Structure 1
Amino acid sequence: MTIYNLGSINLDHVYRVKHFVRPGETLSSADYQVLHGGKGANQSIALARAGADVKHIGAIGEADPWVIDQLADAGVDTTAVARLNQASGHAIIQVTGDGENAILIYPGANRSLSRSHIEKALAGCEDGDWLLLQNETNGLAEAMDEAVSRGMRVAFNPAPMVSEAVGPLLDKVDLLIVNEVEAMDLADRTRVDDAETRLQSEYPHLQILLTLGRAGVVYIGPEGRQQAPAFPVDAVDTTAAGDTFIGYCLAALAAGETPDVALRRGSAAAALCVTQPGAAAAIPEQQAVDAFLATFGR
């Protein structure tokens, strides 16, 4: 079982600040780092650290080969990562003292993948493999079409959310992964419970993972509605919390675990992640998640 991840690869420029910059304000940063990130890359690393066989499909600029090395070092198959003659995608990330973040993204090479590159990357898939996608690359519809034609299952984390573009893709999706803001945008509702009801009625074929931050996570699928609370921890940096949850939860589901087990593993991994600074560097190893669950698992 392989999980193919068509996802972004970014350089994260991380600034530690007292508060998010306000319009017209100039603010000094207490610290600055350049790290490896991007929703796609983070999710691939989380999948690999969770024990999944993951192949990343993406692109970076030729000037940044070290990014591919870091993915490979984490156990990700990088043979489908293209090196293009343009700037890599990057993100400007503000992180406050209580661990909250605000992110500005420039897509760069992430939006320059050819259809032939995507089709070639998926050529080796087998029936029942997964295709995971976010909304930071081009080629989503083409990749979904290719995946469906090959008998793959499709998981979609449509972040950043553009509801008018995402809606038409959902007929091809098996597992939709959204946070509460994305769910409300997609469902055109102002309350998360109303959004949940609307998504279920509009897309009854979907399994849905709805992440609620400190309130935990909800799974909706053939097994019914299940909710798991978040583990209480002192957050340092929430940048990669969602990506970590997605990687660990999808790895568990792909391995045949029940949704309740997958939710607990994803929640535990995310809890560990937010106690460390950074994005990819904060994603925990499988052994750490196992130990955490052995101590605090519910």
Structure 2
Amino acid sequence: MAIYNLGSINWDHCYSVPHFVRPGETLSSRDYQRFLGGKGANQSVAAVRAGAWVHHIGAVAEDDVQVRSLIAEYQVAPDGLMLIPGQATGHAIIQINAEGENAIILFPGCNRLLTMEWIEQQFGEANSHDWLLLQNETNLVQESATVAKARGMQVAFNPAPMDKDLTLDMLDYLDLLIVNEVELSDLAGVDDPERALAMLKQKAPNLSLLITLGAKGARYEDQKTSARVDAFKVDAVDTTAAGDTFIGYFLASRAAALSVEESMTRAAAASAICVTRQGAIPSIPTLLEVEAFIKNRKNA
């Protein structure tokens, strides 16, 4: 079972600041680092480190040799990358405050220049045993979901940044929707998460929902299963890739036929380790680290 991830690839420019910059303020950064990131790349690497076979479909600048080299170094095959001449690879400006929270400005660059011809070529031998994972940092999201469902694939969508109309239009093409509480409320148009969940389940009764709750953990709902996992308590340094790590680990674990509860526990552990480290992809733990973390917490 494979995961085809149509997702963004960005350079993350990370600045450690005492607080998020305010209007009219010039703020000195205590530290600067550059990492490979983007929600798509983060989730691909997390899934690979969780043991999945991942084919990443994305786009980068034709002359950006370093990004292709790093993708391969992270054991994600680079042959799914469309090379765009005369354009910039996507990038993000990330402020990280003293509490480890982040504020992000995103420039999509090549991520929004994919073609449907390229995407369809990358599906290759994909079939009903495989997943298509989508976020909302590339173009052709709905079109790709439509083609994937026609091939019998299972489709998971993490609609960040949120586009309410697009997400609602895609519900019939989705097997799994992954949102946080704010996104869930935005979709339903109500502030109460429980009411929002009930409304969404009524609108799409066959849809499985994974709802990330930040420091409160996560919950899962489908027609037969209702599950919840608490977040592991750790000292957070950088939360940039926490959600993406959770998603990559959860989907990889489900693809490996683990139960919902086991998949959520493994994903929560991976996310907990992630936030104790700086950066996006460099912070994502290996499966051996995750298994050791869970064992240690059980024995504590």
Q: 1:297 deviation in Å?
A: 4.2
- Aligned counterpart, 1:259: 260
- Aligned counterpart, 2:105: 104
- Aligned counterpart, 1:220: 221
Amino acid at match of 1:39: K
Amino acid at match of 1:271: A
Matching of residue 3 in structure 1 with residue 3 in structure 2: yes
1:80-119 C-alpha deviation (Å, 9 max, x unpaired): 1111111110001000111100111010000000010001
1:189-209 C-alpha deviation (Å, 9 max, x unpaired): 112222222211111111000
- Aligned counterpart, 1:166: 167
- Aligned counterpart, 1:203: 204
Q: Gaps (5+ residues) in structure 1?
A: none
SS at match of 2:79: strand
- Aligned counterpart, 2:81: 81
Amino acid at match of 2:214: G
Amino acid at match of 1:186: L
1:49-91 C-alpha deviation (Å, 9 max, x unpaired): 0000000000011232211222211221221111111111000
Amino acid at match of 2:242: A
Structure 1 Cα separation of the partners of residues 278 and 29 of structure 2: 15
Structure 2 Cα separation of the partners of residues 266 and 108 of structure 1: 30
SS at match of 1:79: helix
1:21-46 C-alpha deviation (Å, 9 max, x unpaired): 11121111111111100000000000
Structure 1 Cα separation of the partners of residues 197 and 26 of structure 2: 39
Structure 2 Cα separation of the partners of residues 40 and 250 of structure 1: 13
The size of the alignment, in residue pairs, is 298
SS at match of 2:197: helix
User: Identity over the aligned pairs, expressed in percent?
Assistant: 51
Amino acid at match of 2:35: L
Instruction: Give the root-mean-square deviation of aligned CA atoms.
Output: 1.1
Q: Gaps (5+ residues) in structure 2?
A: none
Structure 1 Cα separation of the partners of residues 259 and 37 of structure 2: 29
Q: TM-score, normalised by structure 1?
A: 0.98
Moved over 6 A (4+): none
1:264–1:297 Cα contact (<8 Å) kept: no
1:104-154 C-alpha deviation (Å, 9 max, x unpaired): 101000000001000100122122200000000001122111111111000
- Aligned counterpart, 2:55: 55
Structure 2 Cα separation of the partners of residues 265 and 82 of structure 1: 32
Q: TM-score, normalised by structure 2?
A: 0.97
Matches within 5 A, 1:99-138: 99-138=100-139
- Aligned counterpart, 1:184: 185
Matches within 5 A, 1:212-251: 212-251=213-252
Q: 17-26 or 67-76, which moves further after superposition?
A: 67-76
